[in-house]
Chain A
């Protein structure tokens, strides 16, 4: 190698060190920026996951309450029941525990715990987000504000002094009510004999029409239009059921006029007029849009409400009890039993907690 070539080879430049220096600086800067941004992304991600877990817990709670039957739960809950409600990107474990069972006078009380858990994949080593909410629940039995053994929004006319229209509670569990409750006009009229209605008072004046229509707290429009309750049997479309099973207390809805074909029990809803002939007997609740025409010595133990189509603005003539020895008696136990299928587990409003300990 000639000295001249060696001289050229031995020379050092600054280009390579400068490039390396700049690359190091840029790498450090980019790493720092990446780290800072990653930290912010993680913080935001954690916050978002927490909100998502809260939403899952709430969704699980609400879905359980709205669709409890679809999870296989019917009737009043036992000591506890639980279900995993699977939701998009997560689930909610809903646990309901009994705090007090229902009694004749007190509703059952329950605590609900809904723990929402996210299932989307997260960074390695980071646990899934979870959040727990709680609420008290109560077992709300179907109830009815019974005004009388027979409440008629269109008034009532009875022929003769025979029969019973009694507001005295047959099973003695509740305070007595009136024998009949009617508007001021047309009120209760009787053709001959001693006044039949008995109770506290025997005849209750609901006031003048149409204000008297509002004295009966039944959402008749909702029932007629099918939005308020779901009948077990709808007529026409389905046949009259067998009542061989003494524990069978269905809700039967009849669209139009109807003649009671046999004895039965439960809640019978007739949107038109109802005719009961012969010695038929009904236990529970009768709700009739038009009038109830009674022919013969039939009876009801429970409560009867007629003329409800007045709440829809329709004209309903004064009801006519007809001849014969009728026995219409208020029975709170049979009313409660008939309404049992309308019972539900409902939220105890205004008793919700966001800070259920979940550790």
Chain B
């Protein structure tokens, strides 16, 4: 009789028990790991939301001029005259004024939405011109005539209406766009809050980043004040913004059943100020 190998019922039960114990442990391990990674991933997303917002805002807001660069301000919305180029007056040309600009980021220069220009008087204060403002290319001749050598790589443009006679050759000029940054409902993530960038003259609205917690807001640095305040001061006294960016994860990890939040608070001060 051939010897047949087999397992006893006892062996089978012990094996099943051991496998059950191991399987349960493994499943729990994998489940907890998955939740942990989900939790961590949500945190990373939330931090990424906050960081992305900081990058966009800082580079544009630094060049804002004070006291004339802020048009409106509230905890959820600020409208700024954001300079995208700085130049010097060369001279008049056919109802306009020719400027030589410092070399500027081409994407910033090319973006539509020119709102106007501001020219600086001898005391350092800027006068903003927006009504009927237009910009176009110009030629170096007015600069040559004024003895002003354009900067290598910088553009030569003409702005209308022409600057007043007091704005002689060498007067500094800012070219700007009116831009509103606000926390409003997201279209990418309905029901959530997004940071928007809206170019006033074109109506172009760009959802910069989402989602944010409802506590994300702007705070304000007033003239001669060391700390930021919640309420916007008189606009002429506004010298900088504190950005309270409370980013959220898109989903809610199962561990917390609520979106993860990551708060980044930073400040940006207007560098072109008296």
Given the interface pairs A14-B19, A33-B37, the reply to whether A352 lies near B47 with Cβ below 8 Å is no
Which of B26, B47, B100, B271 meets A99, CB within 8 Å? B100
Judged by a CB distance under 8 angstroms, whether B255 is at the interface is: no
Are A354 and B271 interface neighbours, CB within 8 A? yes
B31 / chain A contacts, CB cutoff of 8 Å: none
Given the interface pairs A100-B148, A357-B153, the reply to whether A352 lies near B59 with Cβ below 8 Å is no
Closest B residue to A44 by beta carbon equals B51
Judged by a CB distance under 8 angstroms, whether B44 is at the interface is: yes
A25 / chain B contacts, CB cutoff of 8 Å: 26, 30
A111 / chain B contacts, CB cutoff of 8 Å: 102, 151
Judged by a CB distance under 8 angstroms, whether A351 is at the interface is: yes
Are A356 and B102 interface neighbours, CB within 8 A? yes
Which of B19, B51, B84, B152 meets A47, CB within 8 Å? B51
Most chain B CB atoms below 10 A, which of A14, A111, A352, A354: A354
Are B124 and A136 interface neighbours, CB within 8 A? no
Judged by a CB distance under 8 angstroms, whether B108 is at the interface is: yes
Given the interface pairs A47-B55, A106-B170, A350-B124, the reply to whether A7 lies near B153 with Cβ below 8 Å is no
Are B102 and A134 interface neighbours, CB within 8 A? yes
Please report the total number of A residues contacting B with Cβ < 8 Å.
36
Interface string of A344-359 (1 = CB under 8 A from B): 0000111111111100
Are A43 and B51 interface neighbours, CB within 8 A? yes
Closest A residue to B62 by beta carbon equals A354
Are A43 and B271 interface neighbours, CB within 8 A? no
Judged by a CB distance under 8 angstroms, whether A40 is at the interface is: yes
Judged by a CB distance under 8 angstroms, whether A97 is at the interface is: yes
Most chain A CB atoms below 10 A, which of B150, B272, B273: B272
Are B104 and A357 interface neighbours, CB within 8 A? yes
Are A351 and B272 interface neighbours, CB within 8 A? yes
Closest A residue to B101 by beta carbon equals A353
Please report the total number of B residues contacting A with Cβ < 8 Å.
53
Are A7 and B5 interface neighbours, CB within 8 A? yes
- Residues 29-70 of A contacting B (Cβ, < 8 Å): 29, 32-33, 36, 40, 43-44, 47
Are B120 and A351 interface neighbours, CB within 8 A? yes
Closest B residue to A39 by beta carbon equals B44
A125 to chain B, nearest CB (A): 22
Judged by a CB distance under 8 angstroms, whether B243 is at the interface is: no
Closest A residue to B25 by beta carbon equals A22
Are A100 and B105 interface neighbours, CB within 8 A? no
Which of B3, B59, B169, B170 meets A355, CB within 8 Å? B59
Are A352 and B86 interface neighbours, CB within 8 A? yes
B240 to chain A, nearest CB (A): 14
Are A350 and B108 interface neighbours, CB within 8 A? no
Judged by a CB distance under 8 angstroms, whether A98 is at the interface is: yes
Judged by a CB distance under 8 angstroms, whether A193 is at the interface is: no
Judged by a CB distance under 8 angstroms, whether A3 is at the interface is: yes
Are A348 and B102 interface neighbours, CB within 8 A? no
B124 / chain A contacts, CB cutoff of 8 Å: 349-350
Closest B residue to A136 by beta carbon equals B172
Are A351 and B149 interface neighbours, CB within 8 A? no
Closest A residue to B153 by beta carbon equals A357
Closest 5 CB pairs of A and B: A351-B172, A357-B103, A355-B105, A353-B86, A111-B151
Judged by a CB distance under 8 angstroms, whether B213 is at the interface is: no
Which of A7, A18, A97, A348 meets B172, CB within 8 Å? A348
A98 / chain B contacts, CB cutoff of 8 Å: 149
A256 to chain B, nearest CB (A): 39
Judged by a CB distance under 8 angstroms, whether B126 is at the interface is: yes
B174 / chain A contacts, CB cutoff of 8 Å: 351
**For the complex, what is the distance from the CA of A304 to the CA of B83, rounded to whole Å?**
46
Judged by a CB distance under 8 angstroms, whether A129 is at the interface is: no
B236 to chain A, nearest CB (A): 15
Which of B26, B37, B47 meets A40, CB within 8 Å? B47
Closest B residue to A98 by beta carbon equals B149
Judged by a CB distance under 8 angstroms, whether B201 is at the interface is: no
23 A-B residue pairings within 8 Å (CB atoms):
A14-B18, A18-B22, A22-B29, A43-B48, A44-B51, A99-B100, A100-B147, A109-B88, A109-B170, A134-B102, A134-B103, A136-B172, A349-B124, A350-B65, A350-B274, A351-B272, A352-B63, A353-B63, A354-B271, A355-B85, A355-B104, A355-B105, A356-B103
